[in-house]
Amino acid sequence: MDILDLDRRVLPLQKELDLRVTRNQLISSNVANVDTPGYKARDLDFSRILAGEAEKLSLRVTDDRHMPESEVIGTTPVRQSTETSRPDGNNVQIEEEMLKLTQNNIEYNALVQFVSKYLSGVRRTIESIK
């Protein structure tokens, strides 16, 4: 396994970072529209995104205790909440959105740190070869 196999190691992380940015935009839009009548909260449907990635893999059930694929895979990349919690039809719950935003930011920052440490290791490896 080549430590400099950046395409295989870093590109999936880049995709995850891009998803975190998209999720941040969706949640921020929900927060901005908290007072917009009829607005429905939106979020990424990670199960659908995973389904797209799973299609690239050859999944096998090798044990009776494995979950069937149909329980893991969703249907749409962005889901719109259908719950209505207010008379004006808006269903954004600011506390929930702020919690999701905080969690998303923590996960984004963790990924950035991981990529940074990985690339620092690659740099040190290259410098040690010189």
pLDDT tens for 55-74 read: 665 556 677 666 554 443 33
Residue boundaries of the structural domains of the chain: 1-39+92-130, 42-80
| Total residues belonging to the chain | 130
pLDDT, mean of residues 85-93: 89
Q: How far apart are CA 89 and CA 118, in angstroms?
A: 46
0.85 exceeded by the pTM?
no
Among candidates 44, 41, 51, which has minimal Cα distance to 19?
Answer: 44
pLDDT tens for 100-124 read: 999 999 999 999 999 999 889 888 9
- The mean pLDDT of the chain is 80
The pLDDT of residue 58 is 54
Residue 41: is it exposed, middle or buried by C-beta count within 10 angstroms (0-12/13-18/19+)?
Answer: buried
